[in-house]
Amino acid sequence: MKTRRTQKLLFATAVLSVTALVAAGCGSGAETGTDTSPAPSASPSGAVSSIAAQVPGSVKANGALTVAADATYAPNEFVATDGRTVIGFDADLAKELGQVLGLKVNVINATFDTIIPGLASGKYDLGISSFTDTKEREQTVDFVTYFRAGTSFYVKSSGGTDIKSLADLCGRTVAAEKGTTQAADAQDQSAKCRSAGKPSVTVQVYNDQNAVNLALSSDRAQIAMADSPVAAYQVKQSKAALKVTGSPYGTAPYGIAIPKDSGMADPVLAAVKHLMAKGTYMKILEKWGVQGGAISNPAINAAVS
């Protein structure tokens, strides 16, 4: 999955001809042209000394964490009505992690498929953007798991196609975000359809989730795919114009992406565990209506596939 991002702020989305406001998050591309990042949060006052002491000196010297998120993946990460502030449960989690680590946090809006390369190059300190922790991604970055989500299919309520599994995609037109597990799954399924002598899947890949939603609402695509909390959010915002079809598949852990061997995995894991024990983690999830994906056993590099 991007697999990845339930709040309700303006979101030009899924149905209607909404201009991409904020939606959901695991996209692609590079940072957006305009600076949509807020100023760093106020100097942390809730640092936990035993955890903050684990932060590498080079990071401490900067005094802040640059956190990348694809802010088109509501309710996980998206842009607020001010047009610049990244909000959502991932953004809230990032700020709380910064507090525990004794660091300011600056959440940057970046297209999804540029975040992991940006971490590898040192451009970002963390990526908190509904990343599914996969073994392939673990070759480039480390992950600290913090949530679980699956992939859902959603379609128009009126005249929409009923899809129960990937096998039902043969001969259909599907929209998914670039760099996500959904796009990869649809493309893999297309090959399986051909091998079985069935029509292939027409896979439309878009740079962000807003464009995926627009493709569905404008009838360019018959089916859209996204992480289950994101699909549910789009359906809710559509006011019955969209519906989820079938059941989520491929439930897997989300991970906070961290530059490989940077020394940040252990303190981030400790900070996540602290927020869970304190109750802050669950409050964040409940605020955004995504508590169904809560976990209690965060770990480093816990990919299931």
Q: Reduced to 3 DSSP states, what percent helix, strand and coil does the chain have, rounded to the nearest 5?
A: 35, 25, 45
pLDDT for the residue numbered 46: 79
pLDDT score for 19: 33
Q: For residue 218, how many C-alpha atoms fall within 13 Å in the half-sphere facing its CB?
A: 12
Q: Cα–Cα distance between 127 and 73 in angstroms, integer?
A: 14
Averaged pLDDT for residues 29-48? 50
Give the pLDDT of residue 45.
57
Q: Which CATH superfamily is domain 150-250 in?
A: Periplasmic binding protein-like II (3.40.190.10)
Spatial CA neighbour of 157 closest among 73, 236, 230, 75: 236
Q: How many CB atoms lie within 10 A of CB 297?
A: 9
For 228-261, what is each residue's pLDDT tens digit?
Answer: 999 999 999 999 999 999 999 999 999 999 999 9
Residue 22: predicted pLDDT: 31
What order do you get walking across the sheet with 72-73 strand by strand?
72-73, 77-79, 86-87
The count of C-alpha atoms lying within 13 angstroms of the C-alpha of 118, restricted to the half-sphere facing its C-beta, is 24
Give the pLDDT band of residue 1 (cuts 50, 70, 90): low
Q: What is the pTM of this model?
A: 0.82
pLDDT value for 18: 33
Other Cβ atoms less than 10 A from the Cβ of 101: the count is 27
pLDDT in tens, 219-234: 999 999 999 999 999 9
Assigned token pair, 233: 């959010």
CA distance 229 to 236: 11
Delimit the domains of the chain by residue range.
150-250
In sequence order, which residues have a C-beta less than 8 Å from that of residue 86 and are 6 or more positions away? Answer: 36, 37, 38, 69, 71, 77, 78, 79, 80, 107, 108, 109
In Å, how far from its chain's centre is CA 115?
11
Q: What is the mean pLDDT of residues 121-148?
A: 97
Q: 84 pLDDT exceeds 70?
A: yes
The answer on pLDDT for 132 being more than 70 is yes
Q: Where are the beta strands (DSSP E) in the chain?
A: 64-69, 72-73, 77-79, 86-87, 104-109, 126-127, 141-156, 173-177, 202-206, 223-227, 242-259
